Amino acid sequence: MEVFLKDSTSTRKLGRALGRLVLPGDVIILAGELGAGKTTLAQGLAEGLGVEGWITSPTFTLIQEYRGRCPLYHLDLYRLEDPEEIWDLGLEEYLKGSGVTVVEWGDRLGAFVPERLEIHLAVGPGEGRRARLIPSGERYLELVKELAGSLLGE
pLDDT tens-digit readout, 102-113: 999 887 776 677
User: Quick one: pLDDT band at residue 100, thresholds 50, 70, 90?
Assistant: very high
User: Quick one: pLDDT band at residue 61, thresholds 50, 70, 90?
Assistant: low
Domains, the chain? 2-153 (3.40.50.300)
Mean pLDDT of 103-127: 84
**Buried/exposed code over 94-122 (b: 16+ C-beta within 10 A; e: otherwise):** bbebebbbbbbbbebbeeebeebbbbbbb
Q: Is the pLDDT of residue 2 over 80?
A: yes
Give CA 47 to chain center in angstroms.
13
CA distance 69 to 67: 7
